[in-house]
Amino acid sequence: MFFSIEPSNGVAIYEQIVRQVKFAIAEGTLGPGQLLPSVRILSQQLAINPNTIARAFQQLQADGVLESLRGRGLAVCATAADHCRNARQLIIESRLRSVLVEGLHSGLAADDLRRIVAHQLDELVGMATVASADRVASS
């Protein structure tokens, strides 16, 4: 599993890990029963304090996303996918709402914000399409 940690983005590192695990489960990259790397291995790979990784894993267990398999490690719960799809939507809605509130408070009109969001979404979808085509061509 690949993590992208950005220490300066305003979201706590442990929360970035929690979100990325939930997103990976929601999109099917991580499936039920799949083991996650150990705290030690992941902390070495990401150059992050092991306590930060442990805190993220504890949160994921408390949320019912991961379960401890005695002697094997932490695995994705069988019922995690639905929970993670719902959590992903709530996280994105909340972050998008914050941006829209900031835009409205800055004096932008709702139509201006709609245009900005539509333009950015079109660009990102185009980039994702090109990236997908590149991956297929290099296979």
3-class SS string, 34-57: CECCCHHHHHHHHCCCHHHHHHHH
Task: Give the per-residue pLDDT at 134.
Answer: 61
Contacts of residue 136, defined as CB under 8 A and 6 or more positions apart, other chains included, come to none
Query: Could you state, in order of their start, the residue ranges of all structural domains in the chain?
Result: 1-107, 108-139
CATH numeric code, 1-107: 1.10.10.10
> Tell me: the pLDDT tens digits for 21-66?
999 999 999 999 999 999 999 999 999 999 999 999 999 999 999 9
Confidence of residue 81 (pLDDT cuts 50, 70, 90): very high
Interstrand relation of 66-69 and 73-76 (parallel, antiparallel or unpaired): antiparallel
Task: Give the per-residue pLDDT at 3.
Answer: 86
Contacts of residue 69, defined as CB under 8 A and 6 or more positions apart, other chains included, come to 35, 75
* 0.95 exceeded by pTM: no
